[in-house]
Amino acid sequence: MTHNDIHVPVLLERCIELLGPAISHPGAVMVDATLGMAGHSVELLKRFPALSLVGLDRDTDALRIAGERLAPFGDRVRLVHTVYDGIAEAIASSGFPSAHGILFDLGVSSLQLDEAERGFAYAQDAPLDMRMDQNQGVRAEEILATYNEGNLRRIFERYGEEKLAGRYARAIISARKDAPITRSGQLVQILSEATPAALRQQRHPAKKVFQALRIEVNQELSVLERALPAAIGSLTVGGRLVVMSYHSLEDRLVKHDFATRAKSTAPAGLPVELPEHKPELVLLTRGAEQASDDERLTNPRSASVRLRAVEKVRSIS
């Protein structure tokens, strides 16, 4: 299959609709902060011929593939190998003072899921790696080998919202005494055996644990906490930011940050709202938008997406 077959951009038309008013003018700069295989970026560059793009990704394989797909657009494209909390530095190093549009498509990419050897998918036996940047960082197998029971339980509860976190942590500690847990098949078996039979029929026992390990390996929530203010600070007034999240922890962070910045900071009872108290952002979506039933059928990755978007209306120095 081609990369076009593998990767179908989620909520593509809605993203273009939301970003369009901010990036349709000559000299506009768009940042795809989670470039992946560049599905959204290819379409944005096609539809806005005066647009320049800065594409960020921590995954060198993704950057290579994206570079091939974006090559026809020539010097309109700058690619940067970085985690998305480095967005401000990436824009500056690409020669731009700010951005007019920014897109975050969070979570694990189609490329990472489809390459079994990366260890992201619990349905395929593979080494327990899970690093989005394979050149650095701690592997999932190292976490399973070194974290104590309390820390394993903490990440399963916090990042996986797993009700059996304690049971799974104990099972892992017990199993690793006999042999290192280095492959996804081993971990799935340990979790399955630790799951009550009645619950095994309701959901896959590994789903939430694998999510929690991936988030811990890549420090996804702490990166997002830094990336959101960095992205908003990098937008010009009138610029727009679209964020697509795929689990409640991410969406909660995005919702809180956007809501806080979209409110006036004027003290209660102040007769006139001073300029310095005006909101920094305007919300462009009512709550979190989801994919249509049709899109969910044709693109399963869209099933859990939650999209939020804002426009920057005031700069805060």
* Region 45-71 average pLDDT: 96
Are 121 and 210 within one domain? Answer: yes
Collapse the DSSP code of 33 into the 3-class scheme (helix H, G, I; strand E, B; otherwise coil) and give the result: coil
Q: How confident is the model at residue 122 (pLDDT cuts 50, 70, 90)?
A: confident
134 is in an annotated binding site: no
Per the prediction, the chain carries an average pLDDT of 91
Burial of 88: CB neighbours in 10 Å, binned 0-12, 13-18, 19+: middle
Which of 171, 203, 218 corresponds to the end of one domain?
218
Q: What is the CATH number of the domain that holds 64?
A: 3.40.50.150
pLDDT recorded at residue 135: 83
Instruction: Answer whether residue 317 shows pLDDT above 70.
Output: no
Distance of CA 118 to the CA centre of its chain: 17
105 is in an annotated binding site: yes
Residue 26 lies in a domain: yes
Are 137 and 275 within one domain? Answer: no
Instruction: Answer whether residue 115 shows pLDDT above 90.
Output: no
Are 99 and 227 within one domain? Answer: yes
> What's the pLDDT tens digit per position in 68-112?
999 999 999 999 999 999 999 999 999 999 999 999 999 876 655
Are 14 and 105 within one domain? Answer: yes
Backbone angles phi, psi at 264, to 5 degrees: -70, 145
What's the number of domains the chain is made of?
2
122 is in an annotated binding site: no
291 is in an annotated binding site: no
Are 97 and 131 within one domain? Answer: no
Distance of CA 136 to the CA centre of its chain: 19
Which of 169, 203, 218 corresponds to the end of one domain?
218
C-alpha distances out from residue 162 to 156, 169, 209, 224, 234, Å: 6, 11, 7, 21, 36
Are 86 and 230 within one domain? Answer: yes
Are 256 and 299 within one domain? Answer: yes
84 is in an annotated binding site: yes
Are 65 and 161 within one domain? Answer: no
* Residue 235 to residue 237: CA distance in whole angstroms: 6
DSSP 97: S
Q: Are 138 and 191 in contact (CB under 8 A)?
A: no
Residue 317 lies in a domain: no
DSSP 78: E
Direct distance between the N- and C-terminal alpha carbons of the chain, in angstroms, rounded to an integer: 48
Nearest to 246 by CA among 217, 224, 261, 228: 224
Of 120 and 184, the one with more pLDDT: 184
Are 83 and 210 within one domain? Answer: no
Are 54 and 121 within one domain? Answer: no
Which of 187, 218, 249 corresponds to the end of one domain?
218
Are 68 and 198 within one domain? Answer: no
Q: What's the predicted TM-score (pTM) here?
A: 0.90
Q: What is the CATH number of the domain that holds 164?
A: 1.10.150.170
Range of the domain at 142: 116-218
